[in-house]
Structure 1
Amino acid sequence: MAEDRQHPVLQYIINNPEAFAQNLAKTLENAGKALAAYLEPREKGEVKQEGADELTGIIKTLAQVGEYWISDPERAVAAQSRLINGYITLWNSSLKRMMGETAEPAASPPSRDKRFADPDWNNNQYFDFIKQLYLITSKWAEDLVLDAKDLDEHTRHKAEFYVNQISNALSPSNFLMTNPELLRLTVESNGENLVKGMQHLVEDIRAGRGDLKIRQTDMSKFALGENLGLTPGKVIAQNDVCQVIQYDPATPEVLKRPLMIVPPWINKFYILDLTPEKSFIKWCVDQGHTVFVISWVNPDARQAEKSFEHYMKEGILHTLDVIKRATKQEEVNAIGYCVGGTLLAVTLAYMAATGDKRIASATFFTTQVDFTFAGDLKVFVDEEQISLLERKMAEQGYLDGSKMASAFNMLRSNDLIWSYVVNNYLKGKDPFPFDLLYWNSDSTRMPAANHSFYLRNCYLENNLAKGKMEIGGKKLDLSKVKIPIYNLATREDHIAPPQSVFLGSTCFGGPVDYVLSGSGHIAGVVNPPAKNKYQYWTGDRPKGKLEDWLDKAKENPGSWWPHWDAWIREQNGDLVKARKPGANRVKILEDAPGSYVKTRV
């Protein structure tokens, strides 16, 4: 009987109709609960109806593409003909295959597309036809955007992004009746996967307080201070913006210059202190660095007016004061990650303008200072969208963390949205426990004033690179920053594209070492040497085009961490006796990782 079930048709036929009917009833019951979980907070006024303005913007953008093609009958016919010709090619190849002949597919997905990995996407003619129909249609829609000649580049970029999101959402891999793997699983389990999937959906809507909060990992398997963020240290200062953590030394001697790390406030700092095996902070301590980390507050309405200037003065400059008290050292090495790096660059320009020389070297992880090539996040940035966002932030004083998390997930929607929709709600499986995805789901809010300044001055107007940004009464000029800089980009970065980081290297007035790591925005940074994964490229001073620099660059196996450590020691390798938190009468407030990082949205 088991052999009979392997027949291409029989494996998609229900073998226990009674059990399937019972599970279908349970699925529909859970679907009703999911709908109730969605509607209840809206009926109580706890959740405001949103999305109409964003939807209007999407429709207006796509309408401009449609207007280009419809305005000229000849163009419209040509566009329709391309689509119809694709369908005819697919029909002819399908007929040949039905007659037992060999036929080339009319369309094929990229080799790295995981959505169509199941063998039946190719072996079963029904699913192969659906797959090719989808690929032809989605490629045609993408070409409509690319070939619309009257669009400005920003509108084209938005339209391309929106079409891609729609295409990803409508993939046949996301639906039960058009996904062979889902159909087989449903038949084999008599629909139990759908019952569990709807249970997950109810739980995730309730967890999102009426909005769907897709679980990417098993959140119950992780806890800060228990199996994440374990590097020993103490909180030695705090204010309305941040806590300052000093880590316990692990060597009898340490580098004379302390190390200050400025993480992004869009996420939490423990991306650099996950498990001990992955912890960049622990690795630095083990190499003999005296490590200080800024742990940003998870803001609420009380921080509504905290701006970039506040984050600079009450964050970085405040931490420099704390480090001097704790170590009696004037000079420090500084690291900035992502938007934390942008703030560090702003601070360096401010310090250059005021004659403050406490930061002796700077390292940037996937940091943009010139936003000309800022990637798909620029889709969300124009005057209309920023004004809308500012009005919403004004109501509560901050941007809810889920909004920014959704934007980041959309940059890789197939991997970070739809794969989990299929896994959680259609397969009915629990997501795999993964520390990186736990961190990714631990979103933070952003103060209204800070976020507005960042979007307008960086993404919209690019004022920092142009030398037009003003903070604290000083006009900022990055060319006045003469200290040595180690500028790390990652090759597959969707948030700070390597081309953007490369261009930003040319803004500084001192020596810049541009280093390109394999992988993306997180894995390319959090890449401990013991894993021996990926690679990194080193080369001449960045100038000209990234492609030309890469042609001459040297590829090095493994992690860039030891290369960076050697670079730090080239700047100043002097050693002193190890310093412990609490020295020099500095008050210890609590153990690392501190309380600020534990505040959840």
Structure 2
Amino acid sequence: MPAEQERPDPLDSICDVLDRAAASAVAQATFGLSPSTLALAASDWAMHLARSPGKQLQLGAKLSRKYLRMLDFVARSAKDPDAAPAIEPLPQDRRFADAAWKQPPFNLLAQSFLLNQQWWHAATTGIGGVSRHHEDIMEFTARQMLDMFAPTNFIATNPVVQQRIVETGGQCLADGMRHFFEDVQRTARGERPVGTEDFVVGENVATARGKVVFRNRLMELIQYEPTTETVRPEPVLIVPAWIMKYYILDLSPGNSLVRWLTGQGYTVFMISWHNPGTQDRDLDLDDYRRLGPIAALDAITAITGSAKVHAAGYCLGGTLLSITAAAMARDGDTRLASMTLLAAQTEFSEPGELGLFIDEAQLNILENMMWSHGFLDSSQMGGAFQLLRSNDLLWSHVLQTYLLGEREPMIDLMAWNADGTRMPYAMHSEYLSRLFLNDDLAEGKYEVDGRTIALAAIRAPLFVVGTERDHVAPWKSVHKIHMLTGAETTFVLTSGGHNAGIVSEPGRKNRHFQVLTREMDGPPLDPTAWRERAPRQEGSWWTAWGEWLGTRSGASVPPPSMGAADKGYPTLGDAPGSYVLEK
């Protein structure tokens, strides 16, 4: 080949920049959603529906039956205000729970909305030929549109709001308008929501006493002071997600997992992640592995002298810990005494509704949006999470705050949720493509240091927690680790969601969990069979974890020193450190 043809064409880089800039502009205009994905899903649905006369006939028949049910309800409710409804809301839908919705004409509005919602679910699902991904998108989009125009969202159609206006003489609307402008101003200034200023890191949240004993460009390692005279010889390393700040696991003193663990006689170490900026755009998943869990394990074993460490990972931190453990097992590194995964996925073929935002077109949009800044901002990720639960997180907030004029009191968990972090371009792009899109880890295609790793190599005992109402890491997806490794696996399904299900301290009311252990190399159960067999217990899963750790730990010994200056790990300052304060 002629030499001039081997040289790169300078036009290639120019074209690449132009394409990225154009895609980034589209991403900014659409808040990170791919219009191509939505258009493809809509055309796939519409074309297959158009060539399905049987489905059309079925939908027409359903529509007719719903009209008849509605007419029957109108006739019955005219005679008896307490007549049985034509349709009941879904168990989690509390929008029409107030007694005012049983009075005409509002009962007719509520029933019409629910029947319409049910019909649109039928219209967007079960059409032959439509891809599963496109069907999920259409069902989700229809639900979002219906939630937007629900009668609960408008003064003219919401009897609860009308009653409140009468009771307050319109003051609720004035208060709501004041709340609205206050929120708009704070958003424009880049400030956190009202009330978060009452929760100050290091003062009333993230208050467990400890020292920063190691720092690199990506994380600080916090060693917490012992609260018992003796401790178990195996320390506990907690790897939190870097999507949010670490202190969800050290919130207020009464619900701090760190304080509870130290109270059980464990030496606890926590990773506090750096909040990346543009200069960190090239940090990738392997950087997080090497500079995170591996660096932490090196420090912990040097400080404590223990050859074994209990490691726990939450959410994305659990996924990273699984990758780390598989690589360690491949390389003969036996420092993990056990591994605990809290609402963490290792198999991504069924990631729940978060998977709606992940396909090739959507990933291209996100990559180019991150390319222009070097990171993904927490507000963009938070917007996606709000869409997943728009009824609970968006429209209920609009109703309560702006129409009823009542601000929900800020609590520590809500304040933490508003204290977001950024994610570097290289890491997040790799995470979405290698894990979410291609499922490389579960399919045996994930490489570390140029060689493939396998979760099947992990033989340390596992304690895995899923939560019943998790929209980020659905419990059935978390449960799939049973299929990926033969290690002894104790699986827990606890009440609550992705955050509140994990922050579930002993003594909290209305908490329960199910737990069942699969012995090493025993046959795995599918989620349905597991739930049927796992015994239910009342209370917090923390106590079950404490007992599980206790049976896998040695006899108590005097606590180790705080840091080890003679081994290169001097104390660098008090907890919570400096990285958690980065904005």
Q: TM-score scaled to structure 1, two decimals?
A: 0.87
Superposed displacement of residue 78, structure 1 = 4.6
- Find the counterpart in structure 2 of residue 192 from structure 1: 171
Q: 2:224 aligns with which of 247, 270, 274?
A: 247
- Find the counterpart in structure 2 of residue 182 from structure 1: 161
1:8-407 alignment, distance < 5 Å: 49-51=29-31, 54-55=34-35, 57-72=37-52, 75-76=55-56, 78-98=58-78, 103-122=83-102, 124-209=103-188, 215=193, 218-407=195-384
- Find the counterpart in structure 1 of residue 578 from structure 2: 595
Paired residues of 1:478 and 1:509 also in contact (CA < 8 A): no
Over 3 Å counting, the alpha-carbon distance change for 1:53 and 1:322 in structure 2 is: closer
Structure 2 unaligned regions, length at least 5: 1-24
Structure 1: how far apart are the matches of 2:55 and 2:555?
Answer: 70
What amino acid sits opposite 1:276 in the alignment?
P
Structure 2: how far apart are the matches of 1:56 and 1:424?
Answer: 35
SS in 1 for 2:253: coil
Over 3 Å counting, the alpha-carbon distance change for 1:86 and 1:360 in structure 2 is: same
- Find the counterpart in structure 1 of residue 546 from structure 2: 565
SS in 2 for 1:505: helix
Structure 2: how far apart are the matches of 1:521 and 1:245?
Answer: 24
SS in 2 for 1:395: helix
Over 3 Å counting, the alpha-carbon distance change for 1:78 and 1:564 in structure 2 is: closer
Structure 2: how far apart are the matches of 1:99 and 1:70?
Answer: 42
Structure 1: how far apart are the matches of 2:116 and 2:388?
Answer: 21
Superposed displacement of residue 173, structure 1 = 0.8
SS in 2 for 1:597: helix
Over 3 Å counting, the alpha-carbon distance change for 1:260 and 1:74 in structure 2 is: closer
Paired residues of 1:218 and 1:431 also in contact (CA < 8 A): no
Paired residues of 2:33 and 2:357 also in contact (CA < 8 A): no
Structure 1: how far apart are the matches of 2:440 and 2:80?
Answer: 63
The size of the alignment, in residue pairs, is 552
Q: 2:389 aligned with 1:412, yes or no?
A: yes
Over 3 Å counting, the alpha-carbon distance change for 1:572 and 1:105 in structure 2 is: closer
Of residues 93-102 and 562-571 in structure 1, the stretch that sits farther from structure 2 once superposed is 93-102
Q: 2:530 aligns with which of 549, 553, 556?
A: 549
Q: 2:402 aligned with 1:425, yes or no?
A: yes
Paired residues of 2:207 and 2:253 also in contact (CA < 8 A): yes
Q: 2:478 aligns with which of 501, 512, 525?
A: 501
Structure 2: how far apart are the matches of 1:547 and 1:599?
Answer: 43
Paired residues of 1:481 and 1:508 also in contact (CA < 8 A): yes
Structure 2: how far apart are the matches of 1:210 and 1:94?
Answer: 50
What amino acid sits opposite 1:577 in the alignment?
P
Structure 1: how far apart are the matches of 2:111 and 2:271?
Answer: 50
Over 3 Å counting, the alpha-carbon distance change for 1:59 and 1:214 in structure 2 is: farther
Of residues 195-204 and 384-393 in structure 1, the stretch that sits farther from structure 2 once superposed is 195-204
What amino acid sits opposite 1:155 in the alignment?
H
Superposed displacement of residue 390, structure 1 = 0.3
SS in 2 for 1:184: helix
Q: 2:553 aligned with 1:576, yes or no?
A: no
Structure 2: how far apart are the matches of 1:91 and 1:598?
Answer: 60
1:430-445 alignment, distance < 5 Å: 430-445=407-422
Over 3 Å counting, the alpha-carbon distance change for 1:175 and 1:254 in structure 2 is: same
Of residues 217-226 and 228-237 in structure 1, the stretch that sits farther from structure 2 once superposed is 217-226
Q: 2:442 aligned with 1:465, yes or no?
A: yes
What amino acid sits opposite 1:572 in the alignment?
S
Structure 1: how far apart are the matches of 2:76 and 2:535?
Answer: 50
- Find the counterpart in structure 1 of residue 11 from structure 2: none
Superposed displacement of residue 214, structure 1 = 9.5
Structure 1: how far apart are the matches of 2:538 and 2:58?
Answer: 50
- Alpha-carbon deviations, 1:128-162, whole Å to 9, x = none? 11111111111111111123222111111222222
Of residues 403-412 and 239-248 in structure 1, the stretch that sits farther from structure 2 once superposed is 403-412
Paired residues of 1:268 and 1:439 also in contact (CA < 8 A): yes
Superposed displacement of residue 330, structure 1 = 2.7
Structure 2: how far apart are the matches of 1:379 and 1:101?
Answer: 42
- Alpha-carbon deviations, 1:544-584, whole Å to 9, x = none? 31221222222222112222122222222232211242444
Structure 1: how far apart are the matches of 2:451 and 2:298?
Answer: 21
Over 3 Å counting, the alpha-carbon distance change for 1:314 and 1:66 in structure 2 is: same
Paired residues of 2:223 and 2:268 also in contact (CA < 8 A): yes
Q: TM-score scaled to structure 2, two decimals?
A: 0.89
What amino acid sits opposite 2:139 in the alignment?
E
- Alpha-carbon deviations, 1:20-51, whole Å to 9, x = none? xxxxxxxxxxxxxxxxxxxxxxxxx9x95344
SS in 2 for 1:578: coil
SS in 1 for 2:507: helix
Structure 2: how far apart are the matches of 1:510 and 1:406?
Answer: 37
Structure 1 unaligned regions, length at least 5: 1-44
SS in 1 for 2:237: strand
Over 3 Å counting, the alpha-carbon distance change for 1:56 and 1:120 in structure 2 is: farther
Paired residues of 1:364 and 1:486 also in contact (CA < 8 A): yes
Superposed displacement of residue 210, structure 1 = 8.1
CA RMSD of aligned residues (A): 2.3
Over 3 Å counting, the alpha-carbon distance change for 1:587 and 1:446 in structure 2 is: same
- Find the counterpart in structure 1 of residue 22 from structure 2: none
Superposed displacement of residue 454, structure 1 = 1.0
Paired residues of 2:28 and 2:369 also in contact (CA < 8 A): no
SS in 1 for 2:514: strand
Structure 2: how far apart are the matches of 1:229 and 1:102?
Answer: 51
What amino acid sits opposite 1:558 in the alignment?
G
Over 3 Å counting, the alpha-carbon distance change for 1:291 and 1:52 in structure 2 is: closer
Of residues 69-78 and 570-579 in structure 1, the stretch that sits farther from structure 2 once superposed is 69-78
- Alpha-carbon deviations, 1:39-67, whole Å to 9, x = none? xxxxxx9x953448535533442343233
Paired residues of 2:186 and 2:192 also in contact (CA < 8 A): no
What amino acid sits opposite 1:125 in the alignment?
P
Structure 2: how far apart are the matches of 1:356 and 1:342?
Answer: 18
Paired residues of 1:69 and 1:79 also in contact (CA < 8 A): no
Paired residues of 1:263 and 1:340 also in contact (CA < 8 A): yes
- Find the counterpart in structure 1 of residue 6 from structure 2: none
What amino acid sits opposite 1:564 in the alignment?
W
